[in-house]
Amino acid sequence: MLNWSHFIYFAVVAVICWTAGAYLSFRERKTGAVYAWTILGLAVFFSFIVGLWISFERPPLRTMGETRLWYSFFLPFAGLITFVRWKYKWILCFSTLMSTVFICVNLFKPEIHSKTLMPALQSPWFAPHVIVYMFCYAMLGAAFVMAVYLLCCRKDKDVTREMLLTDNLVSVGLAFMTFGMLLGALWAKEAWGHYWAWDPKETWAAITWLCYLIYIHLRLKQDADRRVILYVLVIAFCCLQMCWWGINYLPSAQGVSVHTYNME
């Protein structure tokens, strides 16, 4: 029967495959090989999850460690989908790195295998919700870097191409954010009985979402000042930070959020 002591073998093989995929994604005309390596890694990793599922006789969703397992799986998965569609060269590096971080957490902190989740978090909605948000952060973080770069270093030159890239990053990021938010709503309905309760995290998610919508709509017309548009992106990213971890320190949010366990 498979158990956690076998994890390292599967993890090492999977990370090697994903690294190969990420490396090849920087080479021209190697797309087929990129897909093949990444999918192979996913297959190896997923076989461990299935093995654990069979030997536990339940889906591995119950402990912190088991949830990290799904993170490690879905990160390269979402990375692959994004790569297939947009061919960002950095995306597979990002997803491999993040996935490896969670694998290391599982390898070096085995005590989290027994650290249990509160029953409401033992849900198949949890991991997808978190993964999609991580991708959203990656995209919108990249868009933020672009905005700062354009604001500070490229004052007068023609930046049409860079703006289009930023648009693309924001749209992909916003798509992920919308997905994450709605998955969160569906899950909240299953677990707590209501899909949207305007608790602090949800309120800040709504603000952040609106900010990015404003950016997208501003870009539909030519008349707005480019600097104003870029500042919207900077403000939006600040709101995102607030939503992500800032509210844990916000006095008005203490003790009322059902989401503050995210601190763990």
Partner 1 sequence: MWKRPWTYLEGAVIGAGLVATGEILQLSVGEVAWNLFAYPLNVLLAAVFVSAIILAFVVRKRVYFFRWCATVQAAIPIMVWCAVLTLVMGLSGWMSMLRWWPLVLCYTFMMFVLGMTCLKRLRPFSFAFMLNHGGLFVALLAGTLGNADVQKLRMEVRVGRPEWRAIDESDNSIKELELAVELHSFTIDEYPAKLMLVDNETGKAVPAGKPEQIVIEGSVTGGMLMDWEIEADSCMEMAAQVTDGENKVKYVEWKNMGATTAAHVTAKQRETGEMKEGWVSCGSFMFPYHALKLDERYSLVMPEREPKRFASDVTVYTKAGTVKDAVIEVNKPLEIDGWKIYQLSYDETMGRWSDTSVFELVRDPWLGWVYAGIFMMLGGAICMFVSAGRKGSEQKETLKTSESC
What mask of x and - would describe binding to ligand HEM in positions 171 to 190, judged by CB under 6 A?
-------x------------
252 belongs to the binding site for partner 1 (CB under 8 A): yes
To the nearest whole angstrom, how small is the minimum distance from the Cβ of residue 14 to partner 1? Answer: 25
Write out the two tokens for 41: 């890694």
By CB under 8 A, tell whether 234 contacts partner 1: no
Residue 170 beta carbon to partner 1: minimum distance, rounded to whole angstroms: 8
Residue from 220, 228, 249, 252 binding ligand HEM (CB under 6 A): 220
Tell me how many residues contact partner 1 (CB under 8 A). Answer: 66
Reference 174, options 200, 205, 128, 130; nearest CA is 205
Q: Which of 27, 87, 109, 227 binds partner 1 (CB under 8 A)?
A: 87
Give min distance, CB of 28 to partner 1, in A.
10
Question: Considering the rule CB under 8 A, would residue 5 count as an interface residue with partner 1?
Answer: no
Backbone dihedral region for residue 255 (phi beyond 0: left; psi -120 to 50: alpha; all else: beta): left
According to the binding rule CB under 6 A, does residue 213 interact with ligand HEM?
yes
Residues 135-154 within binding reach of partner 1 (CB under 8 A): none
Of the pair 43, 124, the CB lying nearest partner 1 is at 124
The number of residues that bind ligand HEM (CB under 6 A) is 5
What phi and psi values does residue 174 have, to the nearest 5 degrees? -70, -35
Residues 138, 170 contacting (CB under 8 angstroms): no
217 binds ligand HEM (CB under 6 A): yes
Work out how close the CB of 126 gets to ligand HEM at its nearest, in angstroms, rounded to a whole number: 24
**Binds partner 1 (CB under 8 A): choice among 3, 8, 55, 86:** 86
**Smallest separation (angstroms) from partner 1 to the CB of 156:** 17
Per-residue b or e along 61-93, where b marks 16 or more CB atoms closer than 10 Å to that residue's CB = bebbbbbbbbbbbbbbbbbbebbeeeebeebbb
- Sole binder of partner 1 in the list 186, 234, 245, 262 (CB under 8 A): 186
- Contacts with partner 1, residue ranges (CB under 8 A): 62, 85-90, 114, 116, 119-120, 122-123, 160-161, 163-165, 167-172, 174-176, 178-179, 182, 185-186, 189-196, 198, 200, 203-204, 206-207, 210-211, 213-214, 216-224, 239, 242, 250-253, 256
- Contacts with ligand HEM, residue ranges (CB under 6 A): 178, 213, 216-217, 220
